[in-house]
Structure 1
Amino acid sequence: MPAPQTAPVVADLRRARGAAALAFATQGLVFISLTTRLPRFSDRWDLSELELSLVLLMIVLLAGVGSVVSEVVAKRASSATVLRVGLLVIAAAVPVAAAAPSVPVFVVALAAYGVGLGVVDAASNMQAVAVEHRYGRPILPSFHGAWTFGGILGATYALAAAHAPLWTAGLVAVVPLGALLAAYLPREHGEAVTAAEHTDVPWRPIVLVGLGMVLFYMVDTASQTWGPTYLDETVDAPHALVALATLPYLVASLVLRLAGDSLVSRYGATLVLRVGAVVASLSLLVVVTAQTWPVAVLGFTLLGAGVSVIAPLSFSAAARIAGGDQARVDAVIARFNQFNYVGGLLGAVLTGLVGAGSLRLGFAVPMVLILAMLPLARAFAPAGARSARTPG
């Protein structure tokens, strides 16, 4: 039971919650602004699906590097400092990628963006779990809902600017610059991670939860990176409407994330995740068999509802299992964030490589693999709930 807090402390905590939500929304806005324009970037630089897959592989691998850097730095500096550095890197890289005069400049800018992506991913989730801990109740779904809201804004901007020059995609850089000024949660004085604390972390149950996050990001990244291309090339959607692979997906995801806390409280994480996995697999079946673009859009929309709460429940469960002070949890969350990029590899790269001849086949991969959430969902239940159902 959290100790009573004074009014100034409560106000500071609310500001920190708003700041963390802004960081999530910023990340979603920038990421979706870029991914919904992938068909245009591909056309501009005459990239094949294989070449585009390699570019995505580079971004995912460098995002993993950024997350590792966050883990190292977070042992000595606060996650607030790490987050501001990542936002600055993104703000510098995105306009360069959007207005690049040549392929090498474009690739280098995306490489820098990949590192910044990993830093912001890890640090924003560090902030989120720290704020949730001080609130004393589950609020992670609302943070990931903020990411989704930012993504909706990014997809809406892409639709509105479908015929604008491609360099205008870089205008979103003003958002991470503004987010630098937010009042992020500082680390309490004297907190630091020790080697003993780090080795005592119960990694086995955390890895089980992490596998669930791999499955989420496999589906999520496949949808957001290849969905617009799927509409463009496989089901012949009008070029100006390819962002509809992403926008309804995000809207459905936002609705379910906003309802996530109450759904989990009422039915439990295990049941919610299992139902979502079945919905996600059936939704991808609709995408894979769609003969017209409106049917494909319907499939992507249902998919957003099916997988929406996996990521926030993953981070919340990992932080709960890790235990300890904020510095220890920061280090665990930074490492746990690596599961994000394993899923990204499966979603963005494997979907593209398997689907090099036909993206229908590419989307069949996550359609089957997401069903692994059915046995994994049990690992998300609190320890008391699991032990109550486990003989002996």
Structure 2
Amino acid sequence: MTLTVSRTAHRATTALFLVSGLSFGGFVVRSAALKVEHGLDDRAYGLTSVLFGGVAIATMQALGPLLRRVGPEAVARVAVVTLPLAVALLGAVPGTASYVAAIAVVAAANGALDVSMNATAVRAEQRIGRPILSGCHAAWSIGITVATLAGTASLAAGVPTAAHLAVAAAVAVPVALVAGRRLPTADEVERSLPGTGPTTDVPPSGSTGGRPARPVPRPRSGWSPAFARVAVVGVVLMVAEGAALAWGAVLLHEQRDATLAVAAAATTAFTAAQTLGRLVGDRLRAAWGDARLFRRGAVVGACGLALGALAPHPVAAVAGFALLGLGGATLVPIAYAETGRLDPSGRSAARLSVFVYAGVLAGPAAIGLVAAGAGLTAAVALVAPLLAASALVLPRAAADGSPTGSDLPEASRQAR
């Protein structure tokens, strides 16, 4: 693979995340308006959220055989175009029944893109030979930030929902089409992935310092204790993120008597710091390695979450949520990278997406249930030790001698 091809694949993969963030952000920022326009009461609106999560997870599970057969890149080509069009459909359909059906379509497209783009990114990182996953997730963060800012401006200007979502789709679809065309084919990916050949991979004798080279077994994509660790940590990371996004502002307003504006700053500080951390995350992965960076990030994030939950002054709490965003920025990308080391084919990455999505849906609800008995401050604070404990579980790469982020084969050197 030439250096030019590597760069093209990197940019195309990153664009998948950008379109996902733009599309999902457009949906989220208009959700309250859609509720009113389609005449949904609180119960019906809550049920649509349950429907969205259920359809997305079911789609991820159902796509497993297709991902194995045609590769995640092929699925991503379709899903990345379908999602912005499906979101635009939300503003155009008449009546409640049609809206619910459109929600199911958006959920299916979002689930398909989520699972395929992460698997595609894991395979791309393995082929390119250097960390790229943090940058991909940064593109998603940038996309959703741009979409929510544009949506807020359109609401302030009185732009109808249908027009706003149609324009957003008109911007996202061309990017999606270009990205899809520049993704490699399944055959190109399979030929270039390390450890996916019909036999074992044997390193050159020079790479072992003159000692006889040992065969490297082909990675397995099935369930294993190593993948179970990644899956559990993936859920914990999403619970911690949900603590900031769903409950941070509520905690500051109701427990610390912060104004609504100051309380909202907790969410803004978290997302801004997370985006910043992801923009530099790949450089840190290359410099420190995934194992060291994950341990440091998990500890910093846990301290930030504890500060956000327990600080008596709202300003200190906002700083704590910013610290959580900064420390936790690279943790999800590293979890996906770990699946790439376990299984370069991307199948384990696709499976991890199901657990990550489950954590997104179940995390805020679980915190709410604990808060009903122990109080909101305690419920949010209890997530901090869980996040810190994840540093002891993942990644295990440094302990078992397998490569970390800085030890990926530098394919770009070979291209030179």
Q: TM-score, normalised by structure 1?
A: 0.78
Q: What does residue 354 of structure 2 align with? A: 338
Cα distance in 1 for residues equivalent to 2:127 and 2:336: 15
Q: Does 1:237 align with 2:236?
A: no
CA-to-partner distance for each residue in 1:175-214, whole Å, 9 max, x for gaps? Answer: 44221232112112695999x9896746221221222221
Which of 251, 258, 268 is matched with 2:272 structurally?
251
Q: What does residue 155 of structure 1 align with? A: 148
Alignment size in residue pairs: 371
Cα distance in 2 for residues equivalent to 1:383 and 1:166: 56
Which of 80, 83, 87 is matched with 1:90 structurally?
83
Cα pair distance change 1:202/1:157, threshold 3 Å: same
1:319, 1:333 within 8 Å by CA — same for their partners in 2? yes
Cα distance in 2 for residues equivalent to 1:158 and 1:244: 18
2:21, 2:141 within 8 Å by CA — same for their partners in 1? yes
2:367, 2:380 within 8 Å by CA — same for their partners in 1? yes
CA-to-partner distance for each residue in 1:352-379, whole Å, 9 max, x for gaps? Answer: 5555798656644544532331321343
Which of 344, 347, 350 is matched with 2:366 structurally?
350
Residues 137-216 of structure 1 aligned to structure 2 (within 5 Å)? 137-163=130-156, 164-165=158-159, 167=161, 170=165, 171-178=167-174, 179-182=176-179, 183-188=182-187, 201=222, 203-216=224-237
Q: What does residue 389 of structure 1 align with? A: none
Q: Does 1:35 align with 2:23?
A: no
Cα pair distance change 1:224/1:37, threshold 3 Å: farther
Query: Which has the larger displacement, 28-37 or 197-206?
Result: 197-206
CA-to-partner distance for each residue in 1:114-138, whole Å, 9 max, x for gaps? Answer: 2111111111122212221221222
Cα pair distance change 1:359/1:202, threshold 3 Å: closer
1:236, 1:292 within 8 Å by CA — same for their partners in 2? no
Gaps of 5+ in 2: 200-217, 404-416
Deviation at 1:268, TM superposition (A): 3.9
Q: What does residue 326 of structure 1 align with? A: none
Cα distance in 2 for residues equivalent to 1:47 and 1:274: 44
Cα pair distance change 1:303/1:190, threshold 3 Å: closer
> What is the CA RMSD across the aligned residues, in angstroms?
3.8
Q: TM-score, normalised by structure 2?
A: 0.74
Q: Does 1:381 align with 2:398?
A: yes
CA-to-partner distance for each residue in 1:78-124, whole Å, 9 max, x for gaps? Answer: 32321122123312321233456544444332222221111111111
2:277, 2:329 within 8 Å by CA — same for their partners in 1? yes
- Tell which structure's C-alpha radius of gyration is larger: 2
Deviation at 1:46, TM superposition (A): 6.1
Question: Match of 1:270, as an amino acid?
Answer: A
Secondary structure of the residue aligned to 2:183 is coil
Q: What does residue 410 of structure 2 align with? A: none
Q: What does residue 114 of structure 1 align with? A: 107
Deviation at 1:257, TM superposition (A): 1.9
Question: Match of 1:214, as an amino acid?
Answer: V
Cα distance in 1 for residues equivalent to 2:24 and 2:380: 21
CA-to-partner distance for each residue in 1:127-180, whole Å, 9 max, x for gaps? Answer: 212221221222222212222221221232244335245615524323442212
Secondary structure of the residue aligned to 1:180 is helix
Q: Does 1:369 align with 2:369?
A: no
Cα distance in 2 for residues equivalent to 1:119 and 1:225: 24
2:14, 2:139 within 8 Å by CA — same for their partners in 1? yes
Cα distance in 2 for residues equivalent to 1:165 and 1:367: 41
Gaps of 5+ in 1: 324-328, 387-392
CA-to-partner distance for each residue in 1:329-365, whole Å, 9 max, x for gaps? Answer: 1333222221212211322433455557986566445
Which of 304, 308, 312 is matched with 2:333 structurally?
312
CA-to-partner distance for each residue in 1:53-99, whole Å, 9 max, x for gaps? Answer: 54433322222222223322122223232112212331232123345
Give aligned-pair identity as a percent.
26
Cα distance in 2 for residues equivalent to 1:30 and 1:301: 25
Question: Match of 1:269, as an amino acid?
Answer: D
Secondary structure of the residue aligned to 1:214 is helix
2:57, 2:354 within 8 Å by CA — same for their partners in 1? yes
Q: What does residue 390 of structure 1 align with? A: none
Question: Match of 2:116, as an amino acid?
Answer: A
Q: What does residue 321 of structure 1 align with? A: 342
Query: Which has the larger displacement, 367-376 or 224-233?
Result: 224-233
Q: Does 1:219 align with 2:244?
A: no
Deviation at 1:285, TM superposition (A): 3.6
Cα distance in 2 for residues equivalent to 1:233 and 1:104: 36
2:88, 2:169 within 8 Å by CA — same for their partners in 1? yes
